[in-house]
């Protein structure tokens, strides 16, 4: 048994070492010589789109997260499938929006620098620029990723709004992310909307006995019940009530008051390390900086570099 455990640990660290080796192919300014205006071109497309539809910020951020957590940050979430069996067809990805922004960015880049900039890098840049357009954090995006050729609906196993803290920590650790990264990246819930089905169990049937989640603030629960009836499948809820269009620390203040919308938000208080990070972010002014650090770290997950993968001509189909 001990030998088996040692083998599992050894394999885990081998995966991390391989990921780190690939990530060494990334760097800020990767296209400085081959396509010097690449980042500016993407930013122009993103800012124009965000001006028309600022609510795209949250889905675009989530798109990058969902890409990196399945097969690594290889742009596989962007691929279409003729039989609806790609990652984007999985239930957690059905609410993603903004794929046309990736298409428009790629088309603009292909006119200037054909075959140079990967779709996976474009997605990393789009996620950053969407936050900047919302007057949120900025960070230097490492580039140099190449695109994957495979996208499989059966490989989509993302952290869930229903997860407990043990599951969340485990899922993040497998991607080389620690407890602080978990808390900081959860802070992305400061923008965007959730929907009633994702939290109705917390209101009406938490343990299967027609009860509510005791970790949910009672006044907040009463307010949510007025908006979400047990059979409601469509009503949208602000992830960060009163501040869902603004990237700020109010999310952490709400979680600290037991007013996180999802079970996974509330779970951040169930571990001493994650709880400490929540309280620190609620008090302090380092969220923007910390968010950028964690986004860069996540952006190194399972990347393809060098001669691995390809540079897609169109982001929705492999070459």
For residue 36, the Cα-to-chain-centroid distance in whole angstroms is 27
Nearest in space to 168 (alpha carbons), one of 69, 293, 61: 69
As a whole number of angstroms, the distance between CA 212 and CA 206 comes to 5
SS (H, E, C) 277-293: HHHHHHHCCCHHHHHHH
Which entry of 37, 66, 195, 289 is annotated as an active-site residue?
66
Annotated binding-site residue? 70? yes
Annotated binding-site residue? 74? yes
Annotated binding-site residue? 289? no
Annotated binding-site residue? 163? no
CB 239 within 8 Å of CB 264: no
Show the CA angle centred on residue 227, arms to residues 225 and 232, nearest 5°: 90
Q: Is the dihedral of CA 67, 70, 76, 78 positive or negative?
A: negative
> Kind of pairing, strands 193-195 and 236-238?
antiparallel
Annotated binding-site residue? 159? yes
How many angstroms separate the Cα of 214 from the Cα of each of 163, 209, 264?
A: 16, 13, 14
Residue 66 designated active-site: yes
Annotated binding-site residue? 240? yes
Annotated binding-site residue? 190? yes
How many angstroms separate the Cα of 135 from the Cα of each of 121, 122, 129, 130, 244?
A: 22, 20, 10, 9, 13
Annotated binding-site residue? 238? no
Give the DSSP letter of residue 139: -
**Burial profile 154-184: b = 16 or more Cβ within 10 angstroms, e = fewer:** eebebbebebebeebbebbeebbbbbbbbbb
Annotated binding-site residue? 232? no
Coil/strand/helix, residue 238: strand
As a whole number of angstroms, the distance between CA 167 and CA 264 comes to 10
User: Binding site for heme b, residues?
Assistant: 189
User: Binding site for Ca(2+), residues?
Assistant: 67, 70, 72, 74, 76, 87, 190, 240, 248
User: Binding site, residues?
Assistant: 67, 70, 72, 74, 76, 87, 159, 189-190, 240, 248
User: Binding site for substrate, residues?
Assistant: 159
Residues with a known catalytic role = 66
């Amino acid at each position: 048994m001990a030998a088996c455990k040692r083998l599992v640990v050894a394999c885990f660290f081998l995966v991390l070492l391989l990921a780190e080796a690939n990530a060494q192919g990334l760097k800020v300014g990767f296209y400085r010589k081959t396509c010097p205006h690449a980042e500016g071109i993407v930013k122009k497309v993103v800012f124009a789109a965000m001006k028309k539809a600022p609510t795209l910020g949250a889905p675009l951020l989530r798109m990058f997260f969902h890409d990196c957590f399945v097969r690594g940050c290889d742009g596989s979430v962007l691929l279409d499938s003729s039989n609806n069996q790609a990652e984007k067809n999985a239930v957690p990805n059905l609410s993603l929006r903004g794929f046309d922004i990736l298409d428009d960015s790629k088309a603009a880049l292909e006119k200037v620098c054909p075959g140079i900039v990967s779709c996976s890098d474009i997605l990393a840049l789009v996620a950053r620029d969407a936050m900047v357009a919302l007057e949120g954090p900025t960070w230097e995006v490492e580039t140099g990723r190449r695109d994957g050729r495979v996208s499989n609906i059966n490989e989509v196993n993302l952290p869930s709004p229903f997860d407990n803290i043990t599951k969340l920590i485990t899922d993040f650790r497998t991607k080389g992310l620690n407890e602080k990264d978990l808390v900081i990246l959860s802070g992305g819930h400061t923008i965007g909307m959730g929907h009633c089905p994702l939290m109705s169990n917390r209101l009406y049937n938490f343990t299967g006995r027609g009860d509510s989640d005791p970790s949910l603030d009672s006044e907040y629960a009463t307010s949510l019940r007025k908006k979400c009836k047990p059979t409601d499948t469509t009503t949208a809820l602000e992830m960060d009530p009163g501040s869902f269009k603004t990237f700020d620390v109010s999310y952490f203040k709400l979680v600290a008051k037991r007013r996180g919308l999802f079970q996974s938000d509330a779970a951040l208080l169930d571990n001493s390390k994650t709880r400490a990070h929540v309280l620190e972010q609620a008090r302090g002014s380092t969220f923007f900086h910390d968010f950028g650090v964690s986004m860069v770290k996540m952006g190194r997950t399972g990347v393809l570099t060098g001669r691995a993968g390809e540079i897609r001509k169109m982001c929705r189909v492999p070459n």
